Amino acid sequence: MDSILGRYRNLIILVGVLFLQVLGLATQVKRGGGTDVESTRLIRVWAVGAVTPFERALVWGQNSADSLWHNYFYLRGVRAENRQLKDQMEQMRLEQVRLSEDAAQARRLQTLVAFKEQFISRTVAAQVIGSSGSDLSRTVFIDKGENAGIQRDMAVMTADGIVGKVLVVYPSVSQVLLISDQSSGVGALLEKTRLQGVLRGTANGEVVLERVMSDEQVPVGETLLTSGGDQIFPKGLPIGNVTQVSNGKDLFLNIKIKPAANLSKLEEVLVLVEKQERQATADEGVRVRAADILAQRLPSVPEKPAGATPAAGANPAAPNILGNPAGKPAVKPANTPAAKPASAPAAAAPKAVGAAGGAVTGPKSGPDSDSSPTPSAPPGNPQTPVNESSPQ
């Protein structure tokens, strides 16, 4: 080592001096000088160029590691999750089939009890032209009357909910009694709890629900619908929401209702002119049973191929007892008449004609009747039965 340094000492010193001079020049020299762009020292440019490849390699390795983690190691539990989701889907399908069966059964029961549903068939639009102007009577007047088909006790509603019923009908004007009037009454039904009551108005213009027992739980905010028991409003029309529940008189709750329709700002209303009753019918469509879904998941037995070999011991080439070739069914001659009954006289006994034209006669009367041979039918055709009856 000392010999090498001693031998090339001058060259090493020269290279070191040159390196220091170049380093000093790179520190002093600036690149890209100008008014708009800030100048950069040459040594910084060299340092950035030397470090950038290592930084790129480091970033590439980091991205590759992240991709490997998210695309393989992180997804190792996806197969088990997919299996669990498939099981949940099968359970949901079975539950759907069960609910479909329950719905079909409910429709059949509705058919049995002749359950009828009311549907809105035709309405007439009318405009509010006036009010009663009194706090004791809460009524409004509309611009449609008897000439437009309006009759007494017809339901009046808006797009938000019910308003009231027709009280008095004139030729071109009608008077409507609002649900906030003291003399009004509407059959009502709570949407979730299915509790029924009577909707009435109060002296101060509020709407309350009566005839609900105090031991029932009525949540605030529940929607109130028409029950259809008053035979005026069809079932299921919105009335309003529960705003306050308190104990009232005679073991009944005092339930205040906020009407869905703004009764103080009525401008246009709809009068229910015609209602249509439809009888529920059972759905006879094709339904899938839970057993069918489970049967699809079980292994099935393959069907027997069409060209199956016959059983052992059977001779497929042997002719049948009627003389026909194998594989062809025996055909009864079309020209063979049916034998007459045994009660016919012997003199009128018909002749049975075979397929080859040969006649076979019945038994003869006399001493030689037992020894006379009977001609047989030609081969290949079934023997025709002979009438062996003799006259009395």
Q: Is 139 helix (H, G, I), strand (E, B) or coil?
A: strand
Higher pLDDT, 353 or 146: 146
Q: Is the pLDDT of residue 235 over 70?
A: yes
Torsion angles phi and psi, residue 189, rounded to 5: -145, 130
Lowest mean pLDDT among 195-204, 266-275, 354-363: 354-363
Mean pLDDT of the chain: 75
C-beta of residue 138 within 8 angstroms of C-beta of residue 181 = yes
List, for residues 57-87, the tens digit of each pLDDT value.
888 888 888 877 777 766 777 778 888 999 9
Given pLDDT bands bounded at 50, 70 and 90, which one contains residue 363? very low
Domain boundaries, the chain: 9-68, 120-276
What CA dihedral angle connects 228, 230, 231 and 232, to 10 degrees? -90
Measured in degrees and rounded to the nearest 5, phi and psi for residue 244 equal -155, 140
Q: Which amino acid makes up residue 80?
A: A
Angle at which helix 9-28 crosses helix 42-68, to 10 degrees, equals 90
- pLDDT at site 345: 41
Whether the pLDDT of residue 237 is over 80: the answer is yes
Biggest CA-to-CA distance, the chain = 162
- Considering only residues 225 and 17, tell me which one the structure prediction assigns the higher pLDDT: 225
Q: Which pLDDT band, with edges at 50, 70 and 90, does 200 fall under?
A: very high
For 120-276, the fitting CATH number among 3.40.50.300, 2.40.10.340, 3.40.50.720, 3.40.50.2300 is: 2.40.10.340
pLDDT class of 302 with cuts at 50, 70, 90: low
pLDDT at position 373 is: 47
**Confidence label for 372 from pLDDT (cuts 50, 70 and 90):** very low
Candidates 184, 126, 187; CA nearest to 158 is 126
Please report the pLDDT score of residue 153 as a whole number.
Answer: 94
Which pLDDT band, with edges at 50, 70 and 90, does 12 fall under? confident
- Reading the block at residue 296, the tokens are 């699809």
pLDDT digits (tens, 9 = 90+) for 101-127: 888 888 877 766 666 666 778 899 999
Q: What are phi and psi of 367, to 5 degrees?
A: -70, -25
- Report the pLDDT value the prediction gives residue 326, as an integer from 0 to 100: 45
The pLDDT of 292-309, averaged and rounded, is 62
Rounded to whole angstroms, what are the CA distances from 147 to 3, 151, 207?
131, 10, 32
Structure tokens at 342: 């045994």
DSSP state of 367: G
At 20, the pLDDT band (50, 70, 90 cuts) reads confident
Residue 235 makes CB contacts below 8 A (sequence gap 6+) with 117, 118, 189, 225, 226, 227, 228
Q: What angle do CA 142, 147, 152 make, to 5 degrees?
A: 60
pLDDT of 263 strictly over 60: yes
- Looking at residue 180, its pLDDT comes to 93
pLDDT (0 to 100) of residue 255: 95
pLDDT of res. 341? 43
How confident is residue 281, by pLDDT bands cut at 50, 70 and 90?
Answer: low
What integer pLDDT is reported at residue 300 of this predicted model? Answer: 62
Residue 43 has pLDDT above 80, yes or no: no
CA distance 323 to 91: 63
Q: Strand 186-190 and strand 174-178: pairing?
A: unpaired
